[in-house]
Amino acid sequence: MEAVLDSDARSFVPVPEASHFPLYNLPYGIFSPSAGESPRVGVRIGDHVLDLSIIADMGLLEAAGLPHGIFSQPWLNAFMEQPADNRRLVRILIHGLLRETEPTLRDDESLRRRALLPADSVTMHMPVMIRDYTDFYSSREHATNVGIMFRGKEKALMPNWLHMPVGYHGRASSVVVSETDIVRPCGQTVAADGTVPGFGPSRLLDFELEMGFLVAGGNALGDPVSVDDAWDRIFGLVVVNDWSARDIQKWEYQPLGPFNAKNFATSISPWVVTIDALAPFACAAPEQDPEPLPYLREKQRRTFDIDLQVDLTASGQEEALTICRSNFKHLYWTMAQQLAHHTCTGCNLGTGDLLASGTISGPDKGSYGSLLEITWRGTEAIALPSGGKRKFLADGDRVTMSALCEKDGLRLGFGEVTGRVLPARTEAT
């Protein structure tokens, strides 16, 4: 968890002042340099992408002792499976190579032209082959808000909520990378005053502001991971939009929980920020009362101070409206607790598994992480910049989420995850 790089070092690659990607960050992603070229591993630095397949072929990462061709693959999984110390050494080597005082890449114009590409000229892909996907429900503020809406203040939290990180198994096949359009789902819904369902497009389409972490190195079936060892299984984090059809969910969720309301799409950001890069932004997690059972008690409760933002660009409008500002540190249940609880039965996680936080809401309306909360179940519409209102998402609307850390002059971010809503493709009745 300790930072291993000089956060004050500067790169010979120009990094704009407002960039999410300074020399200290160095997030990993999968990209193609141009149409027709195979995907490979890259690192983001400022407004450029460093092609690690070329750098590795030149022998510049040899000291890390990684298998040949590991950065020429279309997924990060093979790299994520390497020992953590080897991965950290790669980050150190890349950091050294990009420093303004290091001539190896800086002064080799031919190598620089091949390996250092403008970010706006490449095509980004899914960074990881996601084996399994689990979505948690770890924000006390969000769970309380939803509970009040449907059960009243006295029964806002279910009896189990303060004792374990509640979650459900999502659908890995429909996890998509940022900029992928989202088709409005169809499903069964029931009118507010009805009892018999109909079939058609969801009318209450929503976003959910989340963060997700990617597992590196799994556990054998029957072999739980302790809460204090869980940090060693986390490779890095991405921003997550877990799209949700509220009307479909209302009809289907009892007795087994979300199904079609969630399985149609989950969007993630293309750059994976490593757990090591986030070390300077570690902070205390919220106090827990009652104290959880021993297998969930952490010797040191920690999370990360990550500012989150949601912008809505309504269909036909150019101006984006910021409708949410929240923070990752609000989560009641930490990533370590989520992973430990997931494996307490002996469930086997594997490299590339995605575990998402659930909607991240803060203590006030401006920090609520879903339209369900922001409009309070559709009773308080949002006024749009160029006229009109929104209670839930309309066709053509674009949702953009971003995440940023800032502390003591150090700034790093995750970039964005964005998606536009397309009309439903089936309107059968």
DSSP string across 178-247: TT--EEPPEEEE--TT-SS-EEEE-SSEE--EEEEEEE-S---TT----TTTGGGGEEEEEEEE--EEHH
The reported pLDDT for the residue numbered 429 is 42
Query: Measured at the alpha carbon of residue 27, what is the angle toward residues 25 and 28, in degrees to the nearest 5?
Result: 160
Q: What pTM does this model have?
A: 0.97
The reported pLDDT for the residue numbered 426 is 74
Alpha-carbon distances, residue 290 vs 228, 261, 323, 332 (angstroms): 19, 32, 33, 12
The reported pLDDT for the residue numbered 35 is 86
Query: Measured at the alpha carbon of residue 280, what is the angle toward residues 274 and 281, in degrees to the nearest 5?
Result: 85
Among 20, 142, 330, 342, which one carries the catalytic annotation?
142
The reported pLDDT for the residue numbered 167 is 97
Task: Please write the tens of the pLDDT for every residue from 257-306.
Answer: 999 999 999 999 999 999 999 999 999 999 999 999 999 999 999 999 99
The reported pLDDT for the residue numbered 245 is 98
Question: Would you call 95 a catalytic residue per the annotation?
Answer: no
The number of angstroms, rounded, from the C-alpha of 358 to the middle of its chain's C-alpha atoms is 10
The reported pLDDT for the residue numbered 4 is 64
- Kindly state the DSSP code that residue 285 receives in the 8-state scheme: P
The domains of the chain, with CATH numbers, are 28-125 (2.30.30.230), 133-422 (3.90.850.10)
Q: Decide if 241 contacts 207 (C-beta within 8 A).
A: yes
The reported pLDDT for the residue numbered 36 is 87
- Kindly state the DSSP code that residue 336 receives in the 8-state scheme: H
CA distance 141 to 99: 43
The reported pLDDT for the residue numbered 368 is 98
Peptide bond into 255 cis (omega under 30): yes
Q: Which ranges of the chain have pLDDT less than 50?
A: 1-3, 428-429
Task: Please write the tens of the pLDDT for every residue from 163-172.
Answer: 999 999 999 9
